[in-house]
Each structure stands twice: as structure tokens, then as C-alpha cells.
A and B are shown apart, each in its own frame.
Chain A
Amino acid sequence: MTASLIVLDPGLFSTLQDLGRWGYLRFGVSNSGAMDTVSLRVANMLVGNDPGEAAIEFTAAGGTYEVAASACRIAIAGGNFPVTIDGKAATPYSSHTLCRGNRLVIGCSTSGMRGYLAVAGGFEVAPMLGSLSTHVRFGIGGLDGNALRRGSRIPLRNDDVDPGGDLCMDPSMMPSAGGSLRVVLGPQDDYFTQKGIETFLSSPYTVTDQCDRMGYRLEGPKIEHAGDSNIVSDGIAAGSVQVPGNRLPIVLMADRQTTGGYPKIATVITADLHRLAQKGPGDVVRFEAVSVEEAENEYLRLLSRLDEIAASLEPADPDAPNTSLLLTANLIGGVC
């Protein structure tokens, strides 16, 4: 029997996501990929994977999974989701080794919208157009282009894990999820009046229940166009804030259309996209303008923080027998 993770309950909306599918934007295929790439990377680090390995991205409620492998190391990062393994609460920001038949239950988030479940070694799923990322509306990636379903079996690359390899980190090292969302004005800020730009930068906007992987529709003070609210369609980047004729902003996210005909007043900086991805209906966001140089610096700062986290990882159980000792003692397979 192939080693796999069985989906007993897929939660609200769970998909496989990695760092995205680049290079097909010119053919109308969105990059997709994790909405919160910071949490994806951290979950992967905790199980010893490459940071961009595909993981399960879940939304608001995580679901229930059963291990159908000799052993499987998992880690979860993202919003605050209560997690139990066979009924016992699992320490957050740590990886855990599960044995065959163990049940992992990820409950409803108490804060944050999205979480990532990474498995050591990753999933044995064939990429589509170079990536495992799922775009459900286009039927691309993941398990045959679909979200996880009850009864789905996701093949695991590894049937077993090195014992004693669980890692943990100091949760306070996670980049902050709060504060305003920084934006670079443009590419079509000249389609708005000065008053419109001031409204956008000085007002609170509330996330509506139309917030998904394609985009976040926001509710708040209307943003004044200078004239036309249509442009000749052009490319749309992740984080671009388009303002259609109803004068309310929509922030476009991972599964957005690649091109569009509404003017874009500003673009959320790469370093802050993970923070928006954790917002849900009713949450309030504010925007703050920065220069492109500041935005680029912030992204580099975020990447060095991730490097610091990687360097800080420690064994989750310092008393656990050392792997190399176990190897010598030939105990592998009997550890669980």
C-alpha cells in the first residue's frame, strides 16, 4: 500500500499549494501558490523540507487527517488553529512524528484565516505546468485540479521518518501579522483624483465575506476616479488593488486573473501579502504608501528573518534519543 495521508474531513477549503506556478502568466494561468508564503516556508522548515515544498493550505478550519504510512512527520504554521494528535493537544511551532493510524485534527482558527500542513519529504503528486499549486476554478494542479475531498488519499514521498528529528522554534520569531498594509502607488494612480488617493490611504477598509484566493473585496469609503474607470486591459500583479466603477477596492491575490481592465490605484508590497492572507471577513485593514526601494528592502528583511528562523530551529525534545545513536543500535522502525 502506498504511503499516504487520508483526508477524513477536508475542513472548509483545503488545497495543495507550493510557491506557485511561474512562467505561464503569458498564457493566462495565474501563479497560484500559498497565500501566506511565510507560513508555508516555516511549516516546511519545521519538517526539514525545502521551504517551497507543497503543503496543504487550509482555510478557517483545518480538517481531520489519518496517517497511512509507517510514520509521518508533520508541522503546522499560519493562523492560530487548535491541533490535536489522537486527541492530545499538539504544541504549536513544532513538528510531530505520527504513526500509522494516528489522527490529526486541526480545528477552527481563533485568529488568522489560513494554515499550512507540511509533511517531511513532501507529497508524491505529479506537478502540472511545473507546480503542485491548485487553481480550483481552472482545474489545474493539486489532486486532478481539485480541492481536497473527504476520502482523498494524498500519496507521501516517504513511508517513514528519521526518529528523534522533530524540531521546534520560538513563536515570537514569526514576522508580525499586524499593522497597516504597505503599498506602492500605481500602476494607474493617475486614474484617481488626489482626493481619491487620500481616501484610500487614510481610511479603514473592512474585509467582506468575498475574500478568497482570487481576491479580497473591501468595504469602506469610496475612492474617486479622475475620469474613466476602465483601462485597456493590462497585466495584474499579486497585491494590486483595482478599483472598478463601484469605487470600492479589490486586492488581487494568488489565483487572480492575469489581465484586467480596471485601474489599479496601488499594489500591496510582497513583504505584506502574507499578512493580508491571514485576514478574514470583518477584519479591518489600512493602507500606507512606501517607495519601491523601501518595499524591496522590506522583502529582503523578511527573507533574512526566515533565514534566522531556519538557523534557530532546535530539537523539539532534547531528551529524545539521537538519530545517529539509534541508527547504530538498529532500532529504526521500532521507535513509534
Chain B
Amino acid sequence: MAVNEKANSRLYTQPRFLQVGDSAVTIELGNAVDIRANEAVAALEERIQQESIEGVMATIPTYRSLQVVYDPSRIRSKTLVARLSGLLPEDSRGSTRHRRWLFPVCYGGEHGMDLAFLATAHDLSEEDVIQIHSGAEYRVYMIGFAPGFAYLGGLPKALHTPRRDSPRTLTPARSVSLGGIQAAISTMPVPSGWHMLGQTPVRTFDLGRRETFLLQTGDRVRFRPISHGEYERLDAMAEKGDLVAEYEMIE
């Protein structure tokens, strides 16, 4: 989960094509965690999906780059790069409609073991931390690291916190956390050096659901603080397949 957070965020005027062995090409649109680069990535991915290029197996959108995975027996890099060059968006906005989610979160206690630490570290009360975190709107920059694990941009400066010196080997499933300048929502127990703020009952990854993954790059997320009792109630509903999150379409 290491991220280099450069202060001078910048979108390249000319995208870079990086060859990744003989099975992928990474198109780098910027060099930092930057909303414009991320919007351009989402727009480019959308065009590639619409184009359905023979031999393209998958795409991986990240903060500022898009990896295009190909089958070298069906298309060669030279042809692919030429095709992709023709798809580079002049306008970085895609037409895909994204969702604005509202996720219930139970902060602190067994659900967010680092809430007290974060309050102390920023000379705030736990209530202040909850208010600041749940008062912001976040953008899903990318899904990576583990199935459905969402990296969120938009963490208020007042909560920027360096990662732990020693990562935990396992953190609770569905943790809402922060690390550096970013926030995240996990889906399953994973090792992490981030700070655990709380836990959501929402299953953003559910193999038994038709829409297996709820979040994708470009979605927005807001959080709503709930009590432990409310968490227990919603968690039981979610276990039975209820979404327990609300959303509206945007753009």
C-alpha cells in the first residue's frame, strides 16, 4: 500500500506508454495522486472498453495510469500501442455515470481501534475526528491490493497521518481506514499499516451477489456515523444480502 504522495501533482501533456513484458502496456497520464489524472484514466478505460479491441484481456485503472493487459498470441504490442494512441481522450471526462454512496460506519471501539490514537495525534476529540471524516466526500481512485479494496481520495488535511511504523498482520474486514493523505474501505481481513477508524456493515465485495463489486473508480463515497447497536442490526441485514448502503447517480 506504499504510495508516494508528491506535492507537485501534474497531468502529463503527453501520456507515457510503458511496456510491461509481453502481456501488458501501462499508459501513464500523470505522476501523482491527482483528481484530473484519475478522471482521465477513467475516461480512457471507458473508451477502451467501448472499442473492445481483439486480444485485450483486462484493464487496471489506478490513480494516474491505466494498465492494459493483452494476449500476445492475439495482438502485438506495436499494434496495440497504435490503437491505444488513437483513443487518448482530448477531454478527460468520461460519460459513464457514477454513483454517490452513503455508507454507515461505526467509529471507534472494537470497530476502529485507532480512533483514540488519531484524536490524540491531531489534538482533537474523538467526536471531532468522526465529524471531520464523515463530513467529507471521497472519490474512489482505484480498487486494488485485495478484491474490492477501495482507495479513496479526499481525506481532509486535518486527518492526514503518517502510516504506522509497523503494519498489522491482519485488520478487520470492512474497515474504514486512513493512511497518509488517503482513506480506504477494505472488504476482507488484510495486513495494513493504516489507521483503523471504524467499520461499515456494507459488503462492497460479495461473491453471492449478482453485482459482486459495489465500488468502482470514479464513484463518490460519504460516511454516516452509526452506533454499535445500529451496526449490529445493519450487519445482520447485510449478512442476509441487504445492501444497507444508499446511493444516487451522479453526472
Contacts and interface: CB of A to CB of B under 8 A. Distances in A.
Interface of A: 22-29, 31, 128-129, 138-140, 183-184, 186-188, 228, 230-235, 237-240, 257-262, 264, 267-271, 292-293, 295-296, 298-300, 303
B72 interface: yes
B17 to A, nearest CB: 9
Given A28-B143, A295-B21, A228 B4 contact: yes
B61 interface: yes
Contacts of B59: 25-26
A296 B188 contact: no
Given A26-B45, A187-B26, A239-B23, 6 more contacts: A23-B58, A128-B207, A187-B18, A188-B18, A234-B67, A299-B22
Given A257-B146, A262-B2, A26 B21 contact: no
B191 to A, nearest CB: 10
Contact of B73 (A31, A257, A303): A303
Contact of B67 (A23, A31, A237, A300): A237
B19 A186 contact: yes
Q: How many interface residues does chain B have, given as a range?
A: 35 or more
Nearest to B62: A234
Contacts of A299: 22, 72-73
Nearest to A258: B144
A292 B22 contact: yes
B31 interface: yes
Contact of A295 (B2, B22, B151): B22
Contact of A232 (B33, B58, B67, B73): B33
A110 B3 CA distance: 42
Given A128-B207, A270-B72, A26 B58 contact: yes
B69 interface: yes
A240 B57 CA distance: 17
A298 B21 CA distance: 12
A239 B73 contact: no
Nearest to B9: A232
Given A228-B4, A237-B67, A27 B212 contact: yes
B2 A25 contact: no
Given A26-B143, A234-B26, A296 B77 contact: yes
Contact of B23 (A186, A259, A270): A270
Nearest to A25: B58
B152 interface: no
Top 6 nearest A-B pairs (CB, nearest first) are: A235-B67, A267-B21, A259-B144, A235-B60, A295-B22, A187-B18
B193 to A, nearest CB: 12
Contacts of A260: 2, 144
14 contacts: A26-B59, A26-B143, A27-B147, A28-B145, A183-B21, A186-B19, A230-B3, A232-B64, A235-B26, A235-B67, A257-B144, A259-B62, A295-B21, A299-B22
B112 interface: no
Contact of B60 (A26, A139, A293): A26
Contacts of A188: 18
A129 B207 contact: yes
Identify the interface centre among B23, B57, B149: most chain A CB within 10 Å of its CB.
B23
A55 to B, nearest CB: 21
A234 B207 contact: no
Interface in B26-43: 26, 28, 31-33
Contacts of B6: 232
Given A25-B69, A259-B144, A184 B19 contact: yes
A139 B59 CA distance: 23
A187 B143 contact: no
B142 interface: yes
Contact of A258 (B2, B3, B60, B63): B60
Contacts of B28: 234
A310 to B, nearest CB: 15
B216 interface: yes
Interface string B214-241: 0011000000000000000000000000
B65 interface: yes
Contacts of B33: 232
Contacts of A257: 144-146
Contact of A129 (B60, B61, B142, B212): B212
B198 interface: no
A260 B213 CA distance: 20
